[in-house]
Copies of this chain bind each other. A is one copy, B any other.
């Protein structure tokens, strides 16, 4: 139960950040290094989830991946 709430919070936390960069195009404080590492890491979590057939892990990271790739794209475009 606590694990489920934790997963929902850490997964959906990237939604307000993605929304904010889309709306404001302000990415000045956002670290390119962070989102480069993070997008790659989340992608590897999806592969790992596939390897161990953990669909919760795949699903949560797939959602995070969408938000994180949006943030990274805006960071690259509007730096």
A residues neighboring B (CB under 8 Å): 2-3, 5-17, 19-21, 24, 26-31, 33-38, 40-42, 44-45, 47-48, 51-52
Interface of A is mostly: helix
Number of copies: 2
Contact assessment for A34 and B14 in the assembled complex, using a CB-CB cutoff below 8 Å: yes
Contact assessment for A20 and B29 in the assembled complex, using a CB-CB cutoff below 8 Å: yes
A31 to B71, CA, bound (A): 11
Q: Which of B2, B24, B34, B45 contacts A3 (CB under 8 A)?
A: B45
Contacts A12-B37, A37-B12 known; A31 to B17 CB distance under 8 Å? yes
Residue in B closest to A75 when the chains form the complex, CB atoms: B29
